Amino acid sequence: MKTRYFLTSVEKMTKADIQRVMEIELASFSAPWSKKMFLSELADAPFSLSYVARERQSCRIVGYIIFRIVFDDLSVMNLAVDPAYRKQGIGGELIRFAMRIGQASGARKATLEVRATNLVAQNLYRKFGFREVGCRPNYYDRPTEHALVFEYGVDCVL
């Protein structure tokens, strides 16, 4: 059984975090975001919120979440956990964190897209009350794949 890591903090992502975030991104996705995309979320996207999760003992970044809140809608743009730290509750903590910020900001629903073959992520989202509401054909590339659209009513308490 793996040791469960408890986070000391979920903190705003900074430019200094980007190198580590990129390591996790490249290990997590076949079509990863570029460094420029992350920097754009930090600097140029007025509704974007970017956070990193740190492991308690080392303060090492072990995951991150980027989401946007526009009016009453929270959109999860990107979420990843370092493969060595998966299945320890970190992804769930990041989702809970984003949902609490969404609720405090007046968001009434949350949406996200997930690869149709990413059953692990789909199960995580379902565990937190997200439900599949649609499909975006050929949304992803490398490989080409449909995205499933998930939605959650943020009015619910997590």
Is 125 tagged catalytic?
Answer: yes
Is 41 tagged catalytic?
Answer: no
E strands of 82-144, at which residues? 109-115, 131-140
Query: What letter would DSSP give residue 32?
Result: P
| Bridge-based pairing state of the strands 61-70 and 145-152 | unpaired
**Active-site choice (125, 140, 145, 152):** 125
Helix %, strand %, coil % of the chain (to 5)? 30, 35, 30
**Active-site choice (113, 140, 145, 152):** 113
Cα separation, 102 vs 75, whole angstroms: 9
DSSP H/E element including 152: strand 145-152
* Positions marked catalytic: 113, 125
